A and B are shown apart, each in its own frame.
Chain A
Amino acid sequence: MTDNFLDYQLMTEDQQSLVDMIHEFMSKEMPQELVEKNDREGHFSMDVAKKLGEMGFYAMDVPEQYGGAGFDCVTICLIREALGYYCGGFANSFVGQSFGYKPLLLAGTEEQKMEYGQRLANGEFWATALTEPQGGSDAVNTRTKAVKDGDDYIINGNKCFVTNGGISNLYTVSAVTGETNLRGEGISLFIVERDFPGVSMGKHEDKMGIRASNTTELTLQDVRVPAKNLIGPVNTGYQTMMKMLARTRPTGCAPALGIARRAIDLAIDYSRQRITFGKPIGKHQGIQFKLADMAIRLQTARNQMIYNATLVDQGVYDTVVGSITKAYASEAAFQICVDAQQIFAGYGYSKEYPLEKLVRDARIYSIFEGPNEVQRWIIGNRLVGKIKK
C-alpha cells in the first residue's frame, strides 16, 4: 500500500491495530492468484473466513455481552474497507456473516440476542432474505406469506439474491403477516433455520462482480417457524429493516472504498512505470488530473462514511444521511475504478490485470441494498417534504 496522505490520520491505536491485522492476514492468506481463482469459479474461501473468525473477526457488530466482538460502526467501516482492498467478493460474504442478526439489535428479545449472538461468535453465518424476484426495494410487493397456525407460523415464498444463502445456517426472512400498505406495515421478520423442513437453497447466482461472494435463491415451502422466532412485534418488520439500513449504510459501502483504494494504488504504481512520449505517464498532466480526481473522490467518500458511522455510534440513525453515504460512496468508488482502468488503458481491459475485476466488483454498490435511484428518491422526498394544499 502506498504510505501517504490517503491513509486515515485519525484512527485510534486499537483501530490501527485491527486494520493492520487485516492487512497482514489478507496479504498472506488471500494472494492475488486465489482472488482470481475465486473470481473465476464464483467461490467463497470459507477456510480463510474461518481463520479470520478464529482471530475474533466473526460477529463483529454483536455486542460483547452477547458473545461478539462489539466493535463500533467506525471501527467496522475501517475493517471492512481493509478487507475490500484484497477482494470485494470475499469481503462482502465475510462481513455478511452477521447480517441477519442486525434487526435483533433493534427489535430482538434479550434471549434472542444472547442465543444467536453466541452462535455467530461460534462461526455460523446468518443471511438476510428480503428481496423477491418481483420486488426488492418495493417491499410492499412482498409475496412471501406467513400464516399463524397455533404457536407457529407457516411460511411460503421465494427469495432471491440472498447474500450467503448457500453457506448460512440462519436466515432473517421477511413475510407478509397482515394488510400491507405504502408505510410498509403488515410485514414481519422471522428467524428461519436452514434445517427447518421446507427450506431449500436455489442456484448460485452467476454474477458480473463480487463473484467470490455467495449469492443464492431461497425457497420456503410450508416452513413451520415457531412464533418465538418472530423479530419484534408482528407487522413491524419493514420499519425495523428501514431503521436497520439507516445504521448499516456506512458499513455497507466500506468495502467499495477498499476496492477503490486498491485501484488508486495500482494506478499510481502503473503511472510511475509506464513510459509514453519519453516520460512516465504519471508526469503527464492528463493522468495527474485523473489521479487527483480519484484521490478527491476517495477522501470525500471516506469522510462521508466516517461522519455517518460516527453519527451511528452516537445513536443517530438518519435514513437520509445513510442514503447520501450509500449513493455518494458507491458512485465515487465505481468512478475511481473506471478511471484507474482508463489509466491502465488496454491492460485495464484485460483479465491478466486486476483492474477489470475491480471495476466489476465496484459496480454492485450502486445497485444492491436499494439502488441509488431509490436513495435519491428518499433524499429528495425529505428535502421537499410535505406540501400543504
Chain B
Amino acid sequence: MNILVCVKQVPDTMEIKIDPVTNTLIRDGVPSIVNPFDSYALELAARIKDETGGKITVVCMGPKQAEAALKECLAVGGDKAYLVTDRAFGGSDTLATSYILSCTVQYLEELSGEKFDIIFCGKQAIDGDTGQVGSEMAEHIGLPQITCIQDIKVEGDKIVVRQEMDEGYNVLETKLPAVVSVTKTPYEPRYPTVKAKLAANRAQITHITTAELTNLTVERTGLKGSPTKVKKTFTPQRKGGGTIIQEDAPADSAVKLVALMSGAALI
C-alpha cells in the first residue's frame, strides 16, 4: 500500500486560556500539536502498514515550525515527510489549501512514479473546524471519497470502512484509489518508540514550494485564491449552564422536558 496522510499543525486547545479582561484567546506560549483527527488518520494508516506493509508519506502545509508536527508523525508510522510551504500560500482558505494539496499529490506521484492507493485526512482541524479540505481535495483530484470514517479494512483493490453517523454507523466500500477523512477511531494513536522518536529528530523534512509545484497556478493560492473572507473574529457570549435531560427511554425524556417547560411557563 502506498499511503498519503495529510496533517495540520494546530494550537493545543486543551492548553489555551482565555484572557478574563479582553475575552480573547491567549495564544502566547500555547504549544502546537498535530491535529488530533489527523493523528487518528495516521494511526489507521499505520495499522494498514502493520498488516499489509507498504509506506506512509506525510504531508503538512504550513510555516517552517510545522516541521515539528511532521517529525511527530515520523515517530509514529510515517516513512517520509514533506512540508508544503511558501509565502505565496499564506492566508489560503480551504479551497486554496485543498488545491495546493491536490497539486502536491500530483507532484509526489510524479516524483516517485507511483500513485497513492489511499489518501487520509482528519475530518477537520480543531482550530478552523471547517472540515472541507479533505473533500475538496478529493474533488480536485477526481477521486472517490468517504468522510468521517472510524475504521478501515483493505480487501484486495477496495476498502471497507465504518462511517460515523449521528446514530449508529454505515459500512461502506469503495475501489482504490480513494480519499478518506477520519474521525475519532476506536484506537488510540500509538506512542512513539524511543528509537523512532530519536530517528525522527534527525530526519530531514523536504520542503515543497511553488518552485517544485510547476503544475500549480499561483493565483489560485493564498489570499488571492481564497473566496472566504474573514470579516470579524470574536468570542461569542457564554450561554448559561443549560439543563441536560437524558432519561433511559426517549419517551421519559420527552415527558420530563414538557414538565420542565410547562413549569417555566414556556409552553
Contact = CB atoms under 8 A, between A and B. Distances in A.
B201 interface: yes
B193 interface: yes
B156 interface: no
B29 A21 contact: no
Interface stretch (A54-62, A158-166, A190-198): A54-62
Contact of B194 (A3, A24, A55): A55
Contact of B197 (A18, A51, A54): A18
B194 A56 contact: yes
B191 interface: yes
Contacts of A25: 191
Nearest to A17: B197
Interface string A16-37: 0110010011000000000000
B131 interface: no
B39 to A, nearest CB: 12
B192 interface: yes
Contacts of B25: none
B201 A55 contact: no
A14 interface: yes
B194 A54 contact: no
A21 B191 CA distance: 8
A56 B194 CA distance: 5
B198 interface: yes
A13 interface: yes
A87 to B, nearest CB: 18
B191 A14 contact: no
Nearest to B196: A56
Given A3-B29, A51-B191, A55-B192, A21 B201 contact: no
A147 to B, nearest CB: 43
Interface in B182-209: 191-195, 197-198, 201
A55 B198 contact: no
B1 to A, nearest CB: 24
B77 to A, nearest CB: 14
A69 interface: yes
A326 B197 CA distance: 31
Interface string B1-43: 0000000000000000000000000000100000000000000
Interface in A342-384: none
A55 B29 contact: no
B201 A17 contact: yes
Nearest to B188: A28
B198 A21 contact: no
A69 B194 contact: yes
Contacts of A69: 194
Contacts of B191: 21, 24-25, 51, 55
A18 B197 CA distance: 8
A18 B29 contact: no
A122 to B, nearest CB: 15
Contact of B195 (A3, A13, A24, A56): A56
Interface of B: 29, 191-195, 197-198, 201
Interface of A: 3, 13-14, 17-18, 21, 24-25, 51, 54-57, 69
The 7 A-B pairs of least Cβ separation, nearest first, read A56-B194, A56-B193, A17-B197, A55-B193, A13-B201, A55-B191, A14-B198
9 contacts: A17-B197, A18-B197, A18-B198, A21-B192, A21-B197, A24-B191, A54-B193, A55-B191, A55-B193
